[in-house]
Amino acid sequence: MSIRTVDYAAHNAEVQQVWDAYRAGKPVRVPIIWGINVRFTMWIPEANPRGITFEQYFNDPEVMLERQIEHLRWVRHHVPHDGEMGMPADGWHAHVDFQNVYESAWLGSELRYYPDQVPDVEPLLTDDRKNLLFDHGIPDPFTGGLMRRNWEFYECMKRRQEEGWTMYGLPVASVTPTGLGTDGPMTICCNLRGASQFATDLIEDADYALQLLDFVTTAIITRIRAYRKALGQPEKTPNGWGFADDSIELLSLPMYEQLVLPFHQRLKEELMEDPTQPIGIHLCGDVQRLLVFLRDRLNVRSVDTGFPIDLGKARRDLGQDVELLGGPSVPLLHHGTPEQVREETIRILQSGVMEGGKFILREGNNLAPGTPLENLWAMYETGKEYGRYDR
């Protein structure tokens, strides 16, 4: 693992200029970020010296807080990115982190822990249990299922912040619970039923599938509005918003329009003060065929893409007013050589995706554990070289 010396003060000053210019609509170069969380460093001994497992992380709020800060410190000193590097100026920003299982586990799915993997859930609505949620109703956002643990962890972390607890000599600057966003109604339905079964439901038992989508969408809205209220936020946000729903990659455009779009529109209507305003969306997988439709019908103006997406085609199809995020695929970054990463980064940056100045370079999508630092440096340095707008 290659460790490089970084002048953090110079780096942070440059990064501030990059983001200020980007946000002003006059970018000097493409910003470069990563999708990275504690999963990335869980199996790096230097970053996780106690060998904390996800099962320990999910079951002890102090372990979660400490492991998260260990991760942040390591990333800030070893992973090149257009964010503040080195020790944080204002302290650690922590959050309750139940990865991508928190919504299904709130609704009743059972958590499963596997060696060398992130936690997952068992499908809940199997066979003669398919109507279970309709019979039981929406769990309480604060005490139902995993959300009880969410708020217990949040309150524990807040106490540490209020007590002035420190780690590596710095305090906790902020803490947030999980559950203010969503992985999306269809994705949750796939977790609850199993992806293959729910895809079958959409075709063979559309009435049931729509009933489940309606239930899950109502649950999402109920939870988010309750959390916003508890945290002193408006129940309908006056600002921009966004969500994810990776599983729509399984659908044709007509199926998406007929079956899932109404629930995405409802999220906007119930959670935004002005649902006509633009939103952002995160979508892993091959959703190329859906992008123009999402722009036109949901007013999506920022798309965080995964793999495989042709970013040059996406720019041509969507025009210059839609922000795009994406880059070399996770498998290439994990298994490829630095030269292969460099070539792919150049190819993407020269595809036309930079036209209009609304492109952010990142991996497609979410860095895998074991990705060589040399490959991250290759992409970062190539992005800085070929992502300039004055070339």
Residue 2's pLDDT band (cuts 50, 70, 90): low
Q: Does position 391 have pLDDT exceeding 80, yes or no?
A: no
| CB contact at 8 A, 44 and 74 | yes
Q: Does position 106 have pLDDT exceeding 80, yes or no?
A: yes
DSSP state of 115: T
Alpha-carbon span 129 to 131, nearest angstrom: 6
User: What is the pLDDT at residue 390?
Assistant: 87
Residue 5's pLDDT band (cuts 50, 70, 90): confident
Average pLDDT of the residues in 189-207: 97
Q: How far is CA 135 from CA 121, 142, 201, 233, 240, in A?
A: 21, 20, 19, 31, 35
User: What is the pLDDT at residue 336?
Assistant: 98
Share of the chain above pLDDT 70, in %: 99
Rg (CA), the chain: 21
Q: Does position 1 have pLDDT exceeding 70, yes or no?
A: no
Place of tokens 């070893």: 78
Average pLDDT of the residues in 70-74: 98
Please state, as a whole number, how many other Cβ atoms lie within 10 Å of the Cβ of residue 143.
10
3-state secondary structure of 283: strand
Alpha-carbon span 164 to 141, nearest angstrom: 29
3-state secondary structure of 91: coil
- The pTM score is 0.96
Tokens at 348, concatenated: 């993407």
Residue 136's pLDDT band (cuts 50, 70, 90): very high
Q: Does position 249 have pLDDT exceeding 60, yes or no?
A: yes
User: What is the pLDDT at residue 233?
Assistant: 97
Q: At what angle do helices 145-163 and 61-78 cross, to 10 degrees?
A: 70
Average pLDDT of the residues in 98-126: 96
Do you know the residue count of the chain? 391
Alpha-carbon span 364 to 377, nearest angstrom: 16
Q: Are strands 166-167 and 170-176 parallel, antiparallel or unpaired?
A: antiparallel
Question: Partners of 244 in the beta sheet?
Answer: 282
Average pLDDT of the residues in 244-253: 98
Q: Are strands 241-244 and 170-176 parallel, antiparallel or unpaired?
A: unpaired
3-state secondary structure of 27: coil
Residue closest to 357 by CA, chosen among 20, 28, 83 = 28
Chain centre distance of CA 240: 16
Alpha-carbon span 236 to 225, nearest angstrom: 7
Alpha-carbon span 364 to 332, nearest angstrom: 10
Residue 3's pLDDT band (cuts 50, 70, 90): low
User: What is the pLDDT at residue 114?
Assistant: 92
Residue closest to 158 by CA, chosen among 57, 38, 61, 60 = 61
Q: Does position 273 have pLDDT exceeding 70, yes or no?
A: yes
Q: Does position 169 have pLDDT exceeding 80, yes or no?
A: yes
